Structure 1
Amino acid sequence: MPRVEPLPRESLPQYEDTFRAVESALGVLPNSTLTMARRPAVMEAFARLNAVVMAEGGVDGVLKQLVAAVVSGAAGCAYCQAHTSHVAEQRGADAEKLAAVWEFETNPLFTAAERAALRVARGAGLTPNAVTDEDMAELQRHFDDEQVVEIVAVIANFGFLNRWNDTMATELERSPMRWATDNLQRHGWDAGKHTAGEPTSGR
């Protein structure tokens, strides 16, 4: 169960435009948004940043979601893994590719460019950060500087979300929970503290 309760959406009609924009992008209004709403300036600032970072630009939107899923998995955030994988599928990611995302180094479904991006994402999600000069040089062989900034912005964006949702023990909403249970659980994903009724003290 969450360590700080999200506010009811219906109690915040003045932020409905923000909620609709977030819901349109993700297919669901995350409980994390409704928890941030206890400090509306934080919620609105993050919603704007997230919209810019995750928008399709020089980097394909599906690849951004895969980067987000890998960095979240490396950081240990089951909540963000569920959300990012679910959104990746909604945006057209191949289900087989999503299921094999942790085999990106060897699986033929992944291109050399995707491998370079996901390698940096995996290293960046670890503590201490494990991204090497060689990893970045390989990334820069496939992406120009503007695209590298986009990719690292996704990683940094989820650094915030991973810590927010794991610290708050944000409860997963029904649709990403169902999707992750059906598609990620057999690959080792577990909702853990992000389920209703899960104890929140200790580890």
Structure 2
Amino acid sequence: MSRMPLVEPQALPPYLKAIYDATPEDNWIGRHFAQAFAPNPDLVQAYQAFYTPWHTGGAGVLEPRLKELVRLRIATLNGCVLCKTVRMAPDVVAEDEAASGVDDADNASFTPRERAAIHFAEKMALDHHNIGDDDVAAMRRHFTDAEFLELAMMTGQYIGFGRVLAMLQLEVAACPI
């Protein structure tokens, strides 16, 4: 069961009601997101004002596919079912790649740059205290300084918000029938 009360749809604040209404009926996890954050809709709106332009809105210097691959890998590592089921960039990441959770960073279908980003994301999520100068130097062979900073920031926010969503257990619910 969700660790936050799920507010009835008709009682949702307008911003969250719009999210709820735009979410397909069979995507109850996405709907639970809108319902669970009803006590603080400004928080979601402010977060999405940052997240959406940088992840899917074309802001930044990293290509959308790379960001989506990293996001999907973090979703798997965080155990966030909501993050793993949402397709933020279906036009640039194939469904089979998305469904796999990018479990094999060394898959030949990934470019060397994508592999480096996925490995970096894994280390950020699992062993960030041991990212050393050699790791950063290896990343800088694939990324400009601006790209590396964006990758680090996006990876950090994927980790943090994904862990919040996993902790809230929005995907765990009683059957509505």
Q: Normalising by structure 1, what TM-score?
A: 0.68
Q: Decide whether the 8 Å contact of 1:74 with 1:123 is kept in 2.
A: no
> Aligned pair 1:134/2:131, yes or no?
no
Match of 1:67 in 2: 70
- What is the alpha-carbon distance in structure 1 between the residues aligned to residue 61 and residue 18 of structure 2? 25
CA RMSD, Structure 1 to Structure 2 (Å): 2.9
Amino acid at match of 1:138: A
* Regions of 4+ moved over 6 Å: none
Structure 1 residue 111 displacement after superposition? 0.8
Residues matched between the structures, number:
167
Q: Decide whether the 8 Å contact of 1:2 with 1:168 is kept in 2.
A: yes
Matched residue SS, 2:141: helix
Match of 2:114 in 1: 114
Q: Normalising by structure 2, what TM-score?
A: 0.77
Amino acid at match of 1:141: R
List alignment gaps of at least 5 residues for structure 2. Answer: none
Structure 1 residue 129 displacement after superposition? 4.5
Structure 1 residue 96 displacement after superposition? 4.3
Match of 1:181 in 2: none
Matched residue SS, 1:102: coil
Q: Decide whether the 8 Å contact of 2:70 with 2:155 is kept in 1.
A: yes
- What is the alpha-carbon distance in structure 2 between the residues aligned to residue 166 and residue 129 of structure 1? 22
**CA deviation map 1:32-60 (0-9, x unaligned):** 24322311221221121212331333111
- What is the alpha-carbon distance in structure 2 between the residues aligned to residue 4 and residue 143 of structure 1? 40
Are the structure 2 counterparts of residues 13 and 61 from structure 1 closer, same or farther at C-alpha, using a change threshold of 3 Å? same
Are the structure 2 counterparts of residues 6 and 63 from structure 1 closer, same or farther at C-alpha, using a change threshold of 3 Å? farther
> Aligned pair 1:93/2:93, yes or no?
yes
Single out whichever of 73-82 and 93-102 deviates more from structure 2.
Answer: 93-102
Match of 2:36 in 1: 35
Q: Decide whether the 8 Å contact of 2:139 with 2:148 is kept in 1.
A: yes
Q: Decide whether the 8 Å contact of 1:77 with 1:162 is kept in 2.
A: yes
List alignment gaps of at least 5 residues for structure 1. Answer: 172-193, 199-203
